[in-house]
């Protein structure tokens, strides 16, 4: 597969992932807005913080290292998919082990919520752990689909699973509100069950078909998806296994950084369950764009960089065409996430109060809610840049460099936990965001230094993507002042007419910002048109 074909497939995957994440975030947004009217904030805090942390920790530690190692090794010419599948099936027993260990911690070492406000906590821990193990059953199929750019199966599977989860949750919230945590446990089990079922059905129909033969798919029968051993070759590829171990050590630390505030809330009791619920709702609102735009781009273009670049080799020893297109894509991605992040930071400040008031009423817009969302708007900018820079760095690093970076991640993890604990006692929930900002800035600095050294001896300078045009900066600064003044005048006690006026001012300012982007960031506009939007790509190719 040529470099251009890989870029097109990665761009298609990113586009579909963005659409998929938009749907997820919208459904979750509506589901949270609905359940806020029927359940207590304490129940939401336990589900969205403690039980979700249990599930995400179990799944992430069980599969993330396997995913990165197996997808990175895809570029190898002597690849044995039998060995890869054997390695991937190890995620299931590893998941059972993590489910047992984490379940014991969640049941016996952590504070148990008041059963009057949060009923059925014990069974919910068991069911959420079971849902995580259930999802791991589809891991070999997920990696096969990602490696061969089967974008439709992921979109269909996760869409159906999310719709089923929301449907079950809404029905139970309305007709069985006394079930407490059983409601959300049932929805989570339905979600992971639908995921596994969709992947299994897809590959049962695909394997042995004419389409599989046309694509020269390496597997022929459904039994090839099960663990097996071929004569004359080891059970697993030990090179990939060692890379998996390196990523596993890193993934453990990355999970602490990613979910650090939830670990601090869960294990150190710095916020009550009710405050945890409010913080998590604000956190979800603030991270919507990061989750449905930045994360899919990071995941998809990690695959692109891993396929195009040879891991651990410098620029001079690789094909110039591959390095050139990787540098161009990196520059455009950095400019894209920078522009989006700046827009969110500017407009997030003036519209945080209004957004929370519309979404959850006085429960969210009073107190620390607006301040939390304003700080998170600035944090999104750092989150966006870090996602793209680490996406490139992890694809280009050698195994030895990955091992060294684990030490950096260890230091960042420890400092983050300490900062979170100290800043939370000082500033409440905002302390979590401040700690995240500091740690994200350090991670970005490390990645920028690596990228600078990587391209230092070449003609390509992809870090120029972090320099927006002067006109765009001027328009953003003016927009920040105008929207802040609009909030002071129109928002939000004067009724709906004044609120609409405030929204209208923001709309006009945003329009000027977009015009400035179109006039000054022509390379970025061309990249988005030709690579991230399928309809434009089809037209131009």
Annotated domain spans of the chain:
1-37, 40-265, 271-466
Question: Do 290 and 380 meet the contact criterion of CB atoms below 8 Å apart?
Answer: yes
- Going by C-alpha positions, the residue among 341, 410, 334, 512 that lies closest to residue 418 is 410
pLDDT at site 532: 64
pLDDT at site 344: 92
* Residue 113 DSSP label: P
Q: How far apart are CA 22 and CA 29, in angstroms?
A: 10
Q: Where are the alpha helices (DSSP H) in 36-105?
A: 41-45, 52-72, 81-88, 91-104
Question: Do 186 and 172 meet the contact criterion of CB atoms below 8 Å apart?
Answer: yes
Place of tokens 């945080």: 352
Three-state SS annotation for 219-265: CCCHHHHCCCCCCCCCCCCHHHHHHHHHHHHHHHHHHHHHCHHHHHH
Q: How far apart are CA 335 and CA 148, in angstroms?
A: 28
Question: Do 27 and 163 meet the contact criterion of CB atoms below 8 Å apart?
Answer: yes
Q: How far apart are CA 275 and CA 100, in angstroms?
A: 29
User: CB 159: neighbour CB atoms within 10 A?
Assistant: 17
pLDDT at site 471: 94
Q: How far apart are CA 65 and CA 87, in angstroms?
A: 11
- Going by C-alpha positions, the residue among 467, 525, 520, 460 that lies closest to residue 325 is 460
Q: How far apart are CA 309 and CA 360, in angstroms?
A: 47
Phi and psi angles of residue 269, each rounded to the nearest 5 degrees, phi first? 55, 45
The two tokens of residue 472 are 């765009």
- Going by C-alpha positions, the residue among 338, 299, 304 that lies closest to residue 444 is 338
User: CB 108: neighbour CB atoms within 10 A?
Assistant: 9
Q: Which residues contact 358 (CB under 8 A, 6 or more apart)?
A: none
The two tokens of residue 295 are 């994360």
- Going by C-alpha positions, the residue among 302, 330, 296 that lies closest to residue 523 is 330
Q: How many residues does the chain have?
A: 541
Q: How far apart are CA 447 and CA 393, in angstroms?
A: 6
- Going by C-alpha positions, the residue among 318, 479, 305, 466 that lies closest to residue 394 is 305
Q: How far apart are CA 339 and CA 520, in angstroms?
A: 12
The two tokens of residue 225 are 């998806």
- Going by C-alpha positions, the residue among 351, 348, 428, 412 that lies closest to residue 380 is 348
Q: Over its length of 541 residues, how does the chain's per-residue pLDDT go in tens digits?
A: 556 666 666 666 666 666 666 666 677 777 777 787 788 778 988 998 999 999 999 999 999 989 888 887 444 445 678 888 999 999 999 999 999 999 999 999 998 998 988 999 999 999 999 999 999 999 999 998 888 878 778 878 888 898 899 899 999 998 988 898 999 999 999 999 999 999 999 999 888 888 888 877 888 888 888 888 776 678 888 888 888 888 887 777 778 767 877 888 888 878 888 778 878 888 877 777 676 678 777 877 888 888 888 877 777 777 888 888 888 888 999 999 999 999 999 999 999 889 888 887 777 777 777 888 899 889 999 988 998 998 888 888 887 888 788 788 778 878 878 888 888 888 777 888 888 899 899 989 989 998 988 888 778 888 888 888 999 999 999 999 999 999 988 887 778 888 899 999 999 999 999 999 999 988 888 888 877 654 334 433 3
Q: How far apart are CA 429 and CA 425, in angstroms?
A: 9
């Amino acid at each position: 597969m040529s470099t251009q074909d890989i870029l097109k497939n990665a761009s298609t995957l990113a586009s579909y992932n963005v659409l998929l994440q938009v749907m997820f975030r919208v459904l979750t947004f509506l589901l949270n807005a609905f359940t806020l009217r029927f359940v207590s904030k304490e129940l939401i805090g336990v589900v969205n913080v403690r039980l979700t942390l249990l599930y995400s920790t179990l799944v992430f530690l069980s599969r993330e290292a396997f995913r990165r190692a197996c997808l990175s090794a895809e570029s190898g010419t002597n690849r044995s998919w039998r060995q890869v599948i054997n390695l991937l099936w190890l995620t299931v027993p590893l998941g059972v082990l993590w489910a047992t260990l984490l379940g014991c911690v969640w049941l016996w070492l952590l504070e148990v919520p008041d059963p009057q406000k949060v009923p059925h906590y014990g069974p919910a821990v068991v069911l959420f752990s079971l849902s995580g193990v259930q999802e791991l059953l589809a891991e070999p199929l997920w990696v096969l689909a990602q490696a061969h750019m089967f974008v439709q199966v992921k979109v269909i599977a996760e869409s159906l699973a999310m719709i089923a989860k929301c449907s079950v949750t809404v029905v139970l919230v309305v007709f069985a509100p006394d079930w407490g945590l059983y409601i959300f446990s049932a929805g989570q089990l339905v979600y992971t069950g639908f995921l596994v079922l969709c992947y299994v059905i897809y590959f049962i129909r695909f394997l042995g078909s004419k389409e599989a033969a046309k694509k020269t798919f390496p597997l022929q029968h459904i039994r090839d998806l099960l663990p097996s051993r071929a004569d004359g070759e080891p059970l697993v590829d030990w090179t990939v296994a060692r890379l998996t171990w390196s990523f596993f050590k890193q993934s453990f630390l990355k999970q602490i950084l990613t979910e650090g505030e939830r670990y601090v809330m869960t294990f150190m009791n710095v916020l009550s369950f009710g405050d945890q619920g409010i913080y998590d709702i604000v956190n979800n609102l603030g991270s919507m764009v990061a989750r449905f735009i930045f994360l899919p781009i990071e995941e998809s273009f990690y695959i692109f960089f891993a396929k195009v670049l040879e891991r651990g080799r410098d620029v001079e020893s690789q094909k110039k065409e591959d390095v050139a297109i990787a540098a161009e894509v990196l520059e455009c991605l950095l400019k894209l996430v920078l522009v989006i992040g700046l827009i969110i930071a500017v407009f997030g400040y003036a519209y945080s109060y209004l957004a929370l008031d519309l979404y959850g009423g006085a429960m969210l817009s009073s107190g620390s809610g607006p301040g939390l969302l304003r700080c998170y708007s600035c944090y999104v900018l750092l989150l966006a840049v870090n996602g793209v820079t680490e996406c490139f760095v992890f694809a280009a690093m050698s195994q030895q460099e990955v091992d060294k970076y684990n030490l950096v991640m260890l230091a960042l993890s420890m400092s983050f936990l300490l900062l979170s604990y100290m800043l939370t006692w000082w500033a409440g929930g905002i302390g979590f965001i401040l700690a995240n900002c500091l740690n994200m800035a350090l991670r970005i600095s490390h990645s920028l230094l690596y990228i600078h050294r990587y391209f230092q001896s070449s003609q390509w300078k992809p870090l120029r993507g972090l320099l927006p045009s002067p006109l765009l900066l001027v328009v953003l600064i003016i927009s920040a002042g105008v929207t802040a003044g609009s909030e002071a005048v129109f928002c939000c006690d004067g009724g709906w007419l004044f609120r609409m006026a405030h929204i209208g001012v923001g709309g006009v300012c945003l329009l000027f910002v977009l015009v400035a982007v179109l006039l000054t960031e022509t390379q970025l506009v061309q990249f988005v048109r030709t690579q991230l939007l399928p309809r434009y790509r089809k037209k131009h190719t």
